[in-house]
Structure 1
């Protein structure tokens, strides 16, 4: 069996000196004589002593770890954001702990508590689609654990966040479809609990109003981002009296659900679809969205990580301004189907 790691107390017992003397000797403190210091180091080396970094960092009041809570690690957007977060954390000698809420509020609450108990120095979060209460994050203030939200952010004023300009992105998407001649444009939006859904709807309404068209609320349908939810939303358009000829959908995953459903019904060529996320895979599809909003996940992750690290290392200040960083989006036009 593997023996237990050697401790400072064990070295002190063998040399018949205090543990504090051993500690000072290992750190070349001038209060420890050269002979004693050499004995301490030689014994520590022979016993394969390694310092307990966790205990040392705990004494310093920092663990040099940051926590990240995301809906799904498998999603392309978040996997790219993770790469950026790790890259920035490594530069500052930080370790990153990742966890998934799987888009469930209760899971998210539990993970926040676990991150607190792990004594992370700060937390990066993209909230779940079910999250409409935020007291579990507010409780972290009393433990001096800063939180930075990114991509999916809460509809709160006094929070630090990095997000894409989804409202302006939606204006671009709807204007693009209007220029192609569409006059009845549907939207399959996300859950109403998500601030990102509200931004998409606001952008849709802005574009419709700017082009002097009448807004029809029945053409904006919320769904839970699942395949069945997408099919149910599509059904409302198929039976609509103003049957849309183009649809803006919440993201590329919803677009894939919609495309598969429309192909089964043999109506895929009746619609132009615009989505968000700009997944690399859509450029390889026979029936792909004609455009997708690029939300720059690496840049969002990079900026969020740097803000968090700045908050961790900056002195506490009640008058500190909140970081509200917006990453401009781009509408990426794919090959137009004939």
Structure 2
């Protein structure tokens, strides 16, 4: 097998020192232009490629960002990954990706693996059961910054990118009331998710804004599994005074809720309306997509999370002293209403 060319070989052929070749290839100002051109030309002819590991060691960087999400199979997170990767490539970074499968213990294992790989930073959307952040806070002593996106922790000292779901929920309630729906049911997500709390606050304040009391019989929750969502729908359909509309935690919960309603002879989006969060393209291929859905911009969240990470890493290079500053990027949601809901 032919050996790869090295800096030593370039130095030997041009009768210069190894340090001169190294400096010339990194455009050091102390190396003359003529010498630089000769060295770079020979390096290109030989097909020389820099030793990435040596560069990483010298710069104390790996140029890799760890990314942890619940599920890659969910379109929301795959879009977020695309946004993260696109922004990373613009800054000559790559990503190391892992899934928590919505399990806090698995999340800890993945984060530990990222730490051992010495990633320069970590971007994470928390699992549905994560309510302690010790495994993430521990990364500080390794000088690995963490940026949370979408599923974020309820704490001030954290870098975050998220969509304002409180505002989106308020807007959705207002739209439903405008369309004439008064008994609005809500299938919320797991209690430990900050996003569930934001949705719930938006729901309660949205109902109160219409000068009505919140009927807690209309509020159910799901652990995001199909079985749990169906159990929530069973309770709602057993009510003597059934809901006029159902808000689902996300588009996946929506699809499970609609399927259950269909099997129990509910005229979906006629006698009972269904709306949701996320506005995922996949729902357009279903028989009954949500009549309205809150766009949460997963690609944009991922992109902003990476841009924020680059900002944090750049500040680290300047060796900025003093108390650490934590950044928050908030995206405004958009209520997307489909044509069939306008009439």
TM above 0.5: yes
Distance 1:60 1:292, change over 3 A: same
Matched residues in 2 for 1:287 and 1:25: separation?
Answer: 63
Q: Which residue of the partner structure matches residue 341 of structure 2?
A: 336
Query: Retained in 2: the 8 A contact 1:259–1:268?
Result: no
Unaligned stretches of 5+ in structure 1? none
CA-to-aligned-CA distance 1:284-331 (integer Å, 9 cap, x gap): 433221110011112211211111000001134443432111100011
Superposed, 1:145-160 pairs within 5 Å as 145-160=144-159
Instruction: Give me the TM-score of the superposition, normalised by structure 2.
Output: 0.86
Number of aligned residue pairs: give it: 335
Describe how 1:87-106 pairs up with structure 2 within 5 A: 87-106=86-105
Q: Alpha-carbon deviation of 1:114?
A: 1.1
Write the deviation string for residues 45-87 of structure 1: whole angstroms up to 9, x where unpaired: 9997643212221221111111111111122222222222122
Question: Do the aligned partners of 1:201 and 1:220 also contact (CA within 8 Å) in 2?
Answer: no
Deviates more, 1:53-62 or 1:118-127: 53-62
In the other structure, the counterpart of 1:243 is 242
Q: CA deviation at 1:30?
A: 11
Q: CA deviation at 1:233?
A: 0.7
Distance in structure 2 (CA, Å) of the matches to 1:192 and 1:70? 19
CA distance in 2, matches of 1:310, 1:30: 27
Structure-2 separation of matches of 1:299 and 1:43: 43
CA distance in 2, matches of 1:223, 1:216: 18
SS of the residue corresponding to residue 138 of structure 1 reads helix
Backbone CA RMSD of aligned residues:
3.1
1:154 deviation in Å? Answer: 0.9
- What SS does the corresponding residue of 2:132 show, helix, strand or coil? coil
Q: After the TM superposition, which residues 158-307 of structure 1 pair with which residues of structure 2 at under 5 Å, given as runs? A: 158-269=157-268, 270-307=271-308
Whether 2:61 is the aligned partner of 1:62: answer yes
Structure 1 residues 219 and 8: alpha-carbon distance in aligned structure 2, compared to 1, 3 A threshold: same
Change over 3 Å in CA distance of 1:319–1:26 after alignment to 2: closer
Q: Please give the residue correspondences for 1:66-145 in structure 2 after superposition, counting only pairs within 5 Å.
A: 66-145=65-144
Aligned-pair distance for 1:235?
A: 0.9
Cα distance in 1, alignment partners of residues 27 and 327 from structure 2? 42
- The answer to whether the 8 A contact 1:188-1:220 is kept is yes
Q: Distance in 1 between matches of 2:260 and 2:217?
A: 21
For 1:197 and 1:175, the matched residues in 2 are separated by 19
1:12/1:171 Cα in 2 relative to 1: closer, same or farther (>3 Å)? same
**Which shifted more, 284-293 or 48-57?**
48-57
Higher mean C-alpha displacement, 181-190 vs 261-270: 261-270
